[in-house]
Amino acid sequence: MNTHIIGYHTTRFGELWEKSLFDLVEESIIGVLKDAKCDIKEIDAIFFGNMLGGVLENNLHAGAKIADIFGLTIPIFRTEAACASGGIALHLAHEYIKNQPGKTVLVVGAEKMTDVQPEIITQGLMSAASGEEQESGLTFPGLYALMARVYMKQFRYERKHLATVAVKNHAHGILNPTAHFRRAITIEQALKSSIVADPLGLLDCSPVSDGAAALIITSDDARSKKSKSISILSSQTATDSISLLQRKSLIELKATQIAAKKAYIEAQITPDRINIAEVHDCFTIAELFAMEDLGFWKKGEAGKRASQFETLLENKGPLIVNTSGGLKASGHPVGATGIKQVGELYLQLTGQADKRQISNARYGLAHNVGGSGGTAVVTIVGV
């Protein structure tokens, strides 16, 4: 049984120093209730995606904190799967109501990252990596750089092929009023940016951001007709080894491939029917992997096809990718990202994406990854 998304709201993403984690949660929940013209009393449960509240702020038991803000007694669950925390929250919300007609739940993802120093946030994010990777001093830029090196060597690509992903996503970010970065960058600027972990430069990396995003989903068909709505045709998740050491291949994410395969089967569509996708570009190399692992492009083709800007909005191709700006330009408040991705599809499929609106989109796909590929969530929506 399908469930329906009937509302979406996101805060601005960026350095929001004047707002706490739960200020952001509150703002996004109030926003989504207003968007869906829904009263909080109509909500049967809340799913909250958040990774770092416990690590950085000693801030857990989030369910009761959200209950406290709104005076609630309904079930509230917190999900954590690193950068896929939001995607997992949506997946569980969908599972929770899909066989229970007449239920309406709220899914919110939030992260507060910019109040701490870079070394603290880097260490906090590395809690999502294996013990060996942590002990060896690796960081996520380092892990993705290792994968990028293998990919570039095998398919004879250069840094400029990676940079095209950042250039495209920044071009989209300009059109998104809630994006962290709203400025164009060039390939030359990307290539000249400071090296973070060779071959990844600063402009190959998504930023550390604050932000929250929320969706309301319902299994009540009558309720869905009262609002602009889209259907969740499938939400699937898969896992893989946490450590790169255990992987058979460093040029693909198996969790993405498995989740995508299951999602296409459940939604009964093929990749070529997807018109719009929000994929997990935590680093430029990650978008190249995503395009291949989700079945849009063949293995090894992504560097070449990305360089032709096939998925850039203004090129009006059959598949447009990351109109929100992706993680790179829209920002990456990790718990919010998976919700924002599906929210962007909601805006596009309901004709509310304003300057970045694509035409005649029928199917959308969101792809959210935790860590270096230990978790992946693939969600397919349609109208």
Partner 1 sequence: MKTGIQSYGFYIPQYRIRIADIAHAWGKNAKEIEASLGVVEKAVATAAEDSLTMSYESSSMAMIKNKTKIEALFFGTESPVYAVNPSSTILGELLNIGNHYLAYDTQFACKAATGAIISGLALVESDQIESALIVASDKATGKPHDALEYTAASGSVSVVVGKKNPILEVEGWSSYSSDTPDFWRREGLKYPSHGGRFTGKPSYFKHINGSVQTVLKKTNLNPKDFTYAVFHMPNGKFPIQIATQLGFSQKQIEKSLIVSQLGNSYTASALMGLVATLEYVNPRERILFASYGSGAGSDAFVFRATKEIEKKRQPFAKKMNEKKYVDYSTYLKYMRII
| C-alpha 322 chain-centroid distance | 10
d(CA 83, CA 106): 19
Q: Catalytic pick from 83, 91, 170, 180?
A: 83
d(CA 323, CA 170): 9
d(CA 14, CA 332): 9
What phi and psi values does residue 50 have, to the nearest 5 degrees?
-160, 135
Count of residues near partner 1 by CB under 8 A: 8
Q: Which of 58, 73, 194, 246 binds partner 1 (CB under 8 A)?
A: 194
Kindly state the smallest distance separating residue 327's Cβ from partner 1, in Å: 19
Contact 47, 341 (CB under 8 A): no
Q: Which of 41, 58, 118, 245 binds partner 1 (CB under 8 A)?
A: 118
Kindly state the smallest distance separating residue 116's Cβ from partner 1, in Å: 9
CB atoms under 10 Å from CB of 90, counted, come to 31
Kindly state the smallest distance separating residue 17's Cβ from partner 1, in Å: 6
Q: Catalytic pick from 94, 170, 280, 332?
A: 332
Residues 6+ apart with CB under 8 A from 86: 49, 107, 109, 213, 334, 335, 336, 337, 338, 339, 340, 341, 368
Q: Is 94 a catalytic residue?
A: no
Q: Of 115 and 266, which has the nearer Cβ to partner 1?
A: 115
Kindly state the smallest distance separating residue 194's Cβ from partner 1, in Å: 7
Look at phi and psi of residue 58 and say left if phi exceeds 0, alpha if psi is from -120 to 50, else beta: left
The region of 89-97, 109-117, 250-258, 341-349 touching partner 1 under the rule CB under 8 A is 109-117
Angle at 12 between CA 7 and CA 13, to 5 degrees: 115
Q: Of 58 and 117, which has the nearer Cβ to partner 1?
A: 117
Q: Of 133 and 210, which has the nearer Cβ to partner 1?
A: 210
- By CB under 8 A, is residue 73 in contact with partner 1? no
Q: At what angle do helices 62-70 and 21-35 cross, to 10 degrees?
A: 60
E strands, 326-382, are: 363-370, 375-382
How is residue 33 written in tokens? Answer: 């209730």
Kindly state the smallest distance separating residue 201's Cβ from partner 1, in Å: 12
Q: Is 332 a catalytic residue?
A: yes
User: Among residue numbers 11 through 50, which ones bind partner 1 (CB under 8 A)?
Assistant: 15, 17-18
Q: Of 67 and 121, which has the nearer Cβ to partner 1?
A: 121
CA dihedral 336, 91, 287, 10 (to 10 degrees): -30
Q: Which of 117, 246, 359, 360 binds partner 1 (CB under 8 A)?
A: 117
* Nearest alpha carbon to residue 255 among 375, 129, 378: 375
Kindly state the smallest distance separating residue 144's Cβ from partner 1, in Å: 21
- By CB under 8 A, is residue 135 in contact with partner 1? no
CA dihedral 206, 309, 192, 372 (to 10 degrees): 30
The region of 112-120, 122-130, 175-183, 298-306 touching partner 1 under the rule CB under 8 A is 112-120
Q: Of 115 and 221, which has the nearer Cβ to partner 1?
A: 115
- By CB under 8 A, is residue 57 in contact with partner 1? no
Q: Is the peptide bond before 199 cis (omega within 30 degrees of 0)?
A: yes
Which residues are marked as active site? 83, 332
Residues that bind partner 1 (CB under 8 A): 15, 17-18, 114-115, 117-118, 194
